[in-house]
Amino acid sequence: MVSVAILGGGNVSFRLSKALSNNSEIILNQIYSRSKLSFHFDSVPVEKIQDLNLLKEADVYIISVSDDAVVSLAEKLPIKNKLVVHTAGSINMNQLPLNNRKGVFYPLQTFSKSKEVDFQKIPICIEAESLNDLDTLRQLAESISNSVYEIDSDQRRIIHLSACFTNNFTNHLFYIAQKLGEEKQIPFEIFHPLIQETIEKLNVLSPYDAQTGPAKRNDLKTIEKHLELLENTGFKEIYELMTQSIKQTYE
Amino acid sequence: MVSVAILGGGNVSFRLSKALSNNSEIILNQIYSRSKLSFHFDSVPVEKIQDLNLLKEADVYIISVSDDAVVSLAEKLPIKNKLVVHTAGSINMNQLPLNNRKGVFYPLQTFSKSKEVDFQKIPICIEAESLNDLDTLRQLAESISNSVYEIDSDQRRIIHLSACFTNNFTNHLFYIAQKLGEEKQIPFEIFHPLIQETIEKLNVLSPYDAQTGPAKRNDLKTIEKHLELLENTGFKEIYELMTQSIKQTYE
């Protein structure tokens, strides 16, 4: 059994507390939040506190606040020599203060309060200073996920960066596609199967081998036509740069 | 009953002939290809010809060759006043020659010979000069897909362009993520659930509303860190341009 306190009231905190409170191998003691928790947390049957001095003894304290606020909250904790971990992709483990044992418990996913996610499939990246603490984090992670990775802070900052490409920028490309079609009444749903197939190919091909399209084929005639269509849309430069990058990859 | 001849031996032709030959509402007469068809076509039980003069009478002739070759093949057909359609995203219907009735039968999907696709889910964009021919194409399309759209050539060229963003460029972003992680031994599979969730969000949110990340939040500290990590990778400019475009979108 691992006992846990969660500190923070955001999306990650909510999804994590949901997963942990439903778990027979875990005792979720408390959720701390400086301000009142949103109504979503009503469905999590656990003590909620707004005063750090009310924190009970726990095996792991999980700080799950915005990346900017992690260190300052860690510094305020009225505990010593406990295992304190954060869930932030971009914060090095060593930025945590020295008064407690340090660790990281980073679920690699995009969370929203309104959309359920299956935690079992979410990769959890764990890191700790001692093998003992790493074991505790592994036990905790494996209780809610089938996909646990030991990842150090150096790797994690690359993962956090790559997640911008695979999630944030990918989503922006979808936005561009929708925007381009708006004027001509093209329903964005028409692209869903293509997008789904783009993803499914990754199960059988590497992204390098899965690449198709005019840039890969160096089909200058089609590229020229596309650039004309992109005049005054604001997206021509992105098309040019992506096309150039794909060309260079396959030169 | 609609009778069909397919002209071409590429990926689209293969998947289309598979779907049509399995269909009780359709008679697939023949597949024409200038050169010998690949072994994949052995699984399609239909007459294969290499001489255009052997073409039989059919309700629809589907030209499914590379975009560059569509028009010249159409000009060689020894038939008159028949319904001749192509499957090319970037070719205007009116580029087809005048000796036959023109149309388009464009399945919006990325095809490979090695990976099965469920044709029922593939959007098929149809276009014709007359309502009669449009009806024939609709009957043909609905026999293999649940998702049939009447799309004119003007709309189709935008769809073809947008498909570059949603498929080609998206895949290249995945390639970049993999490449960035290579040196640090980060397995690309770790991103699969994040990528899957990025797509699934589109079922409940528009791409505009689904956007997250440092660019959207204008989190300059994280962006700065990411740009440092991207030095000498060749991908810094893409990061900058995408970040700038996201910022402008939410200004």
- A145-156: per-residue pLDDT in tens? 999 999 999 999
CA B117/CA B145 separation, integer angstroms: 12
Q: What is the pLDDT of residues A152-177, one digit of tens each?
A: 999 999 999 999 999 999 999 999 99
Query: Average pLDDT of chain B?
Result: 96
pLDDT of residue B111: 84
Confidence of residue A116 (pLDDT cuts 50, 70, 90): confident
Q: Which of B165, B202, B203, B238 to mutate to test the interface with A (most CBs of A within 10 A)?
A: B165
Which chain A residues in 7-66 lie under 8 Å from chain B, judged by CB atoms?
none
Mark yes or no for CB contact B155/A186 under 8 Å: yes
Reading the block at residue B208, the tokens are: 């505009």
Which of B172, B175, B249 has its CB closest to that of A175?
B249
pLDDT above 90 covers a percentage of chain B that reads 94
* Nearest residue on chain B to A237, alpha-carbon basis: B241
Mark yes or no for CB contact A171/B112 under 8 Å: no
What does the pLDDT average to over B177-192?
96
pLDDT above 70 covers a percentage of chain B that reads 100
* Nearest residue on chain A to B181, alpha-carbon basis: A158
* Nearest residue on chain B to A68, alpha-carbon basis: B221
What does the pLDDT average to over B81-105?
97
CA A218/CA A188 separation, integer angstroms: 27
pLDDT of residue A111: 84
Give the number of other CB atoms < 10 A from CB of residue B43.
Answer: 10
CA B97/CA B197 separation, integer angstroms: 45
Q: Where are the beta strands (DSSP E) in A10-158?
A: 26-32, 47-49, 60-63, 83-86, 101-107, 124-128, 148-150
Nearest CA distance, A142 vs chain B (angstrom): 15
pLDDT of residue A93: 98
Terminal CA-CA length for chain A: 55
* Nearest residue on chain B to A185, alpha-carbon basis: B155
Residues of B in contact with A188 (CB under 8 A): 202, 206-207
A148-170 b/e (C-beta count within 10 Å ≥ 16 → b): bbebebebbbbbbbbbbbbbbbb
pLDDT of residue A16: 96
**Chain A / chain B CB contacts < 8 angstroms:** 296
Mark yes or no for CB contact B198/A149 under 8 Å: no
Confidence of residue B81 (pLDDT cuts 50, 70, 90): very high
pLDDT of residue A112: 76
* Nearest residue on chain A to B233, alpha-carbon basis: A245
pLDDT of residue A113: 72
What does the pLDDT average to over A238-243?
98
What does the pLDDT average to over B227-250?
97
Is the pLDDT at A77 greater than 90? The verdict is yes
pLDDT of residue A117: 85
Mark yes or no for CB contact B172/A242 under 8 Å: yes
Nearest CA distance, A54 vs chain B (angstrom): 32
CA A68/CA B221 separation, integer angstroms: 9
Mark yes or no for CB contact B181/A162 under 8 Å: yes
Q: Where are the beta strands (DSSP E) in chain B?
A: 2-7, 26-32, 47-49, 60-63, 83-86, 101-107, 124-128, 148-150
Q: What is the pLDDT of residues B35-47, one digit of tens each?
A: 999 999 999 999 9
What does the pLDDT average to over B209-235?
95
* Nearest residue on chain B to A108, alpha-carbon basis: B194
pLDDT of residue A64: 97
Residue labelled with tokens 């904790």: A77
Is the pLDDT at A49 greater than 90? The verdict is yes
Reading the block at residue B127, the tokens are: 């276009």
pLDDT of residue B52: 98
Which chain B residues in 136-155 lie under 8 Å from chain A, judged by CB atoms?
147, 149, 151, 154-155
CA B153/CA B93 separation, integer angstroms: 6
pTM assigned to the model: 0.92
Residues of B in contact with A12 (CB under 8 A): none
Q: Name the strand (E) or helix (H) holding A5.
A: strand A2-7
Which chain A residues in 192-221 lie under 8 Å from chain B, judged by CB atoms?
192-204, 206-208, 210-216, 219, 221
Which chain A residues in 76-105 lie under 8 Å from chain B, judged by CB atoms?
90
What does the pLDDT average to over B52-61?
98
Mark yes or no for CB contact B199/A194 under 8 Å: no
Q: What is the pLDDT of residues A102-111, one digit of tens each?
A: 999 999 998 8
pLDDT of residue A209: 94
